[in-house]
Amino acid sequence: MSTSRVFVGRLAGRGVFDPVGDRIGKVRDVLVVFRAASAPRVVGLIVEIPGKRRVFVPIGRVTSIGSGQVITTGLINVRRFEQRGGETRMIAELIGRDVQVLPETPTGQPQSGRIEDAAIERARSGEWLVSEVFVRFPKPATPFSRGDSRIVRWSELRMPTTSETAQSAELLIQTLVDLKPADLAEALLELPRPRMIEVVSELADDRVADALEEMSESDQMELLAQLPADRTADVLDRMEPDDAADLISALPAAKGEELLELMEPEEAEDVRRLLEYESDTAGGLMSPAPIVLSGESSVAEGLAMIRRAEIPPAMASAVYITHPPYETPTGEYIGMAHFQRMLRFPPHERLSALVDPEIEPVEVTASAAEVSRRLASYDLVAMPVVDEQNRLVGVVTVDDVLDHLLPDDWRHADDEVPGGVR
């Protein structure tokens, strides 16, 4: 096995391969156990394999670490990783921790610093140990300075005993930025609760919103209970209105009203309208922000609207034609034009010529079961919703319906995977 020293910050995200060079996954973290009188011992790697599943690879099955990659024996247990008591994840829980560095002389004073990276190295005994850490010290009172830093041996450190010691989440967040919302939610929920709150406090509001939308109601409630009300309102502002409405409806009425008052007025207005409907109706499931255009708009304008990066794929599947005004609740609903139909017409063609007369909207009071039947009947991924005055009030997408119809624990349905224990 390669015996070169490896810094964990550089190891994160590196490829993991089997002996013949086939890629197995990528490194997400390094798992260690602390020992009273010696450096922490590496017990294995947390590896993300295809399907975004995180599994444990014992260090004994790693044959080489270095040159920007990890080589294993190829034997991987695909059981989802679960952290045991006494185990510590280096990126998630160690790096970023405040520490004391012992003085170089007996009369010196310990110096406070923060771990910014840590190196693992194979000892003569064959064990992999945390050998050194890169520590940054508080910056002096001079502008543009980040403070001194140096590499110190693990034996020169003293870890604070209090669990309330501050910890930076900078490196951990760097390993999360490339994750899709569902994977980000899972990665956050895998963290110890105190560490998860530290990470969420440093994540951007829109990323927290993305993750919350992919969590179960119980996980959402547990996370939000740890956030101040103003931060929660900022996150709700960035959630899809239907998801924000579902979350607020699960809160006590007084708490929900407090958050609505703290939200941006326009965002709060959308959420309040959705809260007027029962959760298992088209009105309770819909998003109030479809792409609405006039019949005089051109195909080119319609295609330009659905190209916008912030539009979810299901919502970008069609544009909706109404009389003015063109924000929900709109003027009288005319019809919808699917993007595939727009692609078959010249750019200057008016959208009124593309309306599909066979697709009828659903009423705002229609049940979730009725909406799902209509989506299936028309082979659509989104269905327009109108009120009793035939005004477009929103669009129900297939993912909205699936979230409602699937059991509450569907996100964890693949946790039971055959395989041995580690």
The residues of the chain that CATH labels 2.30.30.240 are 6-90
Q: How far apart are the first and last CA of the chain?
A: 21
Residue 108: HSE in the Cβ half-sphere, 13 Å Cα cutoff: 9
Structure confidence at residue 37 (pLDDT): 76
CB 347 within 8 A of CB 299: yes
What is the torsion angle, in degrees rounded to the nearest 10, for the CA atoms of residue 42, residue 44, residue 45 and residue 49? Answer: 180
Structure confidence at residue 415 (pLDDT): 46
The residues of the chain that CATH labels 3.10.580.10 are 292-405
Angle ∠(415,225,202) on CA atoms, nearest 5: 80
Structure confidence at residue 419 (pLDDT): 39
Structure confidence at residue 298 (pLDDT): 96
The whole-angstrom separation of Cα 244 and Cα 236 is: 6
Could you give phi then psi for residue 418, rounded to 5 degrees?
-60, 150
**Mind listing the pLDDT tens digit of every residue in the chain (422 residues)?**
445 688 998 888 889 999 998 999 999 999 999 987 789 999 999 998 887 788 999 999 998 887 678 999 988 888 888 888 788 999 888 888 888 888 866 667 888 888 999 999 988 888 899 999 999 888 764 454 456 888 999 988 887 654 444 556 677 787 777 778 888 888 888 887 778 888 898 889 999 999 999 888 888 998 988 899 999 999 999 998 988 998 999 999 999 999 999 999 999 999 999 999 998 899 999 999 899 999 999 999 999 999 998 888 899 999 999 999 999 999 999 999 999 999 999 999 999 999 988 899 999 999 999 999 999 988 999 999 999 999 999 999 998 888 777 766 555 555 444 333 45
Structure confidence at residue 291 (pLDDT): 96
CATH code for the part of the protein at 6-90: 2.30.30.240
Q: Does domain 93-158 have CATH number 2.30.30?
A: yes
The whole-angstrom separation of Cα 203 and Cα 169 is: 9
Amino acid at 257: E
Structure confidence at residue 232 (pLDDT): 95
Q: Closest by alpha carbon to 280, among 230, 242, 337?
A: 242
Structure confidence at residue 408 (pLDDT): 60
Structure confidence at residue 144 (pLDDT): 46
Structure confidence at residue 67 (pLDDT): 63
CATH code for the part of the protein at 292-405: 3.10.580.10
Structure tokens at 124: 């003569």
Sign of CA dihedral 100, 101, 102, 108: negative
What class does CATH assign to 170-276? mainly alpha
CB 186 within 8 A of CB 176: no
Structure confidence at residue 164 (pLDDT): 46
What SS3 string covers the chain? CCCCCEEHHHHCCCEEECCCCCEEEEEEEEEEECCCCCCCEEEEEEEEECCCEEEEEEHHHEEEEECCEEEECCCCCCCECCCCCCEEEHHHHHCCEEEEECCCCCCCCCEEEEEEEEEEEECCCCCEEEEEEEEECCCCCCCCCCCCEEEEEHHHEECCCCCCCCECCHHHHHHHCCCCHHHHHHHHHHCCHHHHHHHHHHCCHHHHHHHHHCCCHHHHHHHHCCCCHHHHHHHHHCCCHHHHHHHHHCCCHHHHHHHHHHCCHHHHHHHHHHHCCCCCEHHHHCECCCCEECCCCEHHHHHHHHCCCCCCCCHHHEEEEECCCCCCCCCEEEEEEEHHHHHCCCCCCEHHHCCCCCCCCEECCCEHHHHHHHHHHHCCCEEEEECCCCEEEEEEEHHHHHHHHCCCCHHHCCCCCCCCCC
Residues whose CB is less than 8 angstroms from the CB of residue 2 and which lie 6 or more positions away in sequence, other chains included: 64, 65, 66, 67, 122
Residue with tokens 């255009």: 293
